[in-house]
Amino acid sequence: MVTESIPTIVPQSADAEFNPLLSAEARFDQAAERLGLDEGMQKVLRSPAREIIVHIPVQLDDGRLEVFTGYRVQHSIARGPAKGGIRYAPDVSLDEVRALASWMTWKCAVVNIPFGGGKGGIICDPNLLSTGELERITRRYTAELFEFIGPEIDVPAPDMNTNEQTMAWIMDTYSMHSRHTQTAVVTGKPINLGGSRGRSEATGRGCMIVTSEALKRFGLDRASTRVVIQGFGNVGGMSAKLMAQAGFKIVAIVEYDGAVYNTNGLDIAALTAHRKETGSVVDFPGGENIDRDEAMFLDTDVLLPAAKENVITSHNASRLRCKILCEGANGPTTHLADSILAEKGIFIVPDILANAGGVTVSYFEWVQDRQGYFWNEQLVNERLEQIMVESFNDVVAYAEKHGVHNRTAAYMLALDRVAFAIKLRGLYA
């Protein structure tokens, strides 16, 4: 029985609710209080191990010199090397990277893999840069971070606006500096450079697995389960594909330029082909166009936000009409929305559990690179399912034991595991 009362915190400014660092800190505080962690341990868990700011001079294609700012935050290395993606975007900020690095610490701890949390980013607009310019930025960024990353130190991965090509550049640059090939320095690489089979599907597959587990709590079967997915990129698109193949009824896909709906379920393969041909999900012959904002509030069994952060807020959470909220994106729900969702009785599979399939298979890739032996896709998927099911059950059991909601339980479980590792290791002085 859930007895937790989630405090409603009034933001100090209009933008405070949407600051990812403030949201991460609020959830940390709540979990730490429920665990009864002493003030000193809270300070240790809250503080990043290392924050690195680099300034990257690059010669652009037209001959001009430009200087880009890059970040890498290593939040925790208590349970293993830091782990987390690198994003390229014009609005990257140190606060954002700090928040994402801490989420990676808790995410790795929730699924109990031997990594800490890290995150990186470069302030740039990839849409305005050529492939050559992006390569030069990436290689200089890697060179600046050379002594701070590595298979036993910090293992980056792709994130927003970065991909397997970016990881190949990082791997090559690091290898050139270390004077031998080091495939395990990054994950999310091309298969031919030590990447893992099943990696591109991993986050979406993880979402499908935990949603399937959540259905058991409601006595639902896949065939009768209506799903609305916000986002049709790597996570949303792959979740839709795999869930449709598994028998779920995907009734709506919501994208940045519109939404498409079919009460009997969309043909995801046909919709994917339509989007590839037209560049949009709009005007799909197998469904009807609906307002993208209203689509989020359809009467459905599962809502899977898989696009960006801060889409469920204190302003719209009361309008949700789903039984299960599976958070495929990082931070799709603001802290102020949590109390509203709790009052509505929505079963949340929080982001640090729901989308952990990606980092889990990244862990598999790191293991395969280090041992020089690669698994087939069936083995990757079987081991991913085992970890995701065990982690889901751990979080739900923790929630029931402590009388809290799933999100708080996930944070409590993660904090408990990291704090336990720190206590066992002791503090070196």
- Cβ distance 312 to 338 under 8 Å? no
Token pair belonging to 352: 């640090």
At residue 65, φ and ψ (nearest 5 deg) are: -95, 135
**Could you tell me which of 251, 249, 240, 245 has the C-alpha nearest to residue 221?**
249
Q: Which amino acid is it at 223?
A: A
CA distance linking residue 118 with residue 73, whole number of Å: 5
Neighbours of 361 (CB within 10 A): 27
Token pair 């700011």 is at which residue?
A: 53
Q: Which runs of consecutive H residues, i.e. helices, occur in 2-93?
A: 20-35, 39-46
Token pair belonging to 194: 């030590």
**Could you tell me which of 406, 294, 315, 353 has the C-alpha nearest to residue 106?**
353
**Could you tell me which of 358, 371, 366, 389 has the C-alpha nearest to residue 199?**
358
Sheet holding 117-123, edge to edge: 50-59, 65-76, 117-123, 82-89, 154-158
Nearest 5°: CA angle at 327, between 325 and 329? 150
- Cβ distance 308 to 254 under 8 Å? no
Q: Which residues contact 326 (CB under 8 A, 6 or more apart)?
A: 207, 210, 211, 214, 302, 303, 304, 349, 354
249 is catalytic: no
| Catalytic residue (choose from 119, 189, 249, 323) | 119
Catalytic residues: 119
